[in-house]
């Protein structure tokens, strides 16, 4: 029984070492930073829902009724949050 526990601990240590080595190689390959996927498919409008507009800062689709609005050059721009509205440079 004791040898089974020792083997399990050895297996976990080896697995952890392999995982660390793979992460080290990936960071070296990508120049210190591992890229993360940024693609988010837009949400599909539900039946009976209202018009959606895309936030120009983060790309989130928001309802026209519930969005934060800002008039820029005579056009209404819709935002999902105050942070996105403040970051907009249009």
Question: Per-residue pLDDT tens for 1-55?
Answer: 889 999 999 999 999 999 999 988 888 887 777 667 777 777 776 666 578 889 9
User: Can you give the residue range of the structural domain that contains 53?
Assistant: 39-90
Let me know whether 30 and 44 are in one domain: no
Residues 45 and 83 in one domain: yes
Q: How many domains does the chain have?
A: 2
Displacement of CA 63 from its chain's centroid (Å): 21
Backbone angles phi, psi at 8, to 5 degrees: -65, -45
Q: What is the largest CA-CA distance in the chain?
A: 77
Cα–Cα distance for residue pair 35/19, rounded to 1 Å: 17
Q: Is the model's pLDDT at 66 over the cut of 90?
A: no
Shared domain for 47 and 62, answered yes or no, is yes
Together in a domain, 5 and 18: yes
Shared-domain flag, residues 30 and 50: no
At 40 the pLDDT is 75
> Is the model more confident about 86 or about 41?
86
- How many CB atoms sit inside 10 A of residue 78's CB? 23
**pTM > 0.75: yes or no:** no
CA angle 42, 46, 51 (to 5 degrees): 75
pLDDT score recorded for residue 29: 80
């Amino acid at each position: 029984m004791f040898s089974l526990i020792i083997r399990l601990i050895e297996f976990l240590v080896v697995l952890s070492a392999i995982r660390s080595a793979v992460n080290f190689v990936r960071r070296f390959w990508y120049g210190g930073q591992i890229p993360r996927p940024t693609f988010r498919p837009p949400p599909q409008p539900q039946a009976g829902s209202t018009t959606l507009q895309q936030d120009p800062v983060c790309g989130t689709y928001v309802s026209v009724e519930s969005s934060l609005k800002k008039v820029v050059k005579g056009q209404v721009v819709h935002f999902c949050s105050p942070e996105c509205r403040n970051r907009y440079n249009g």
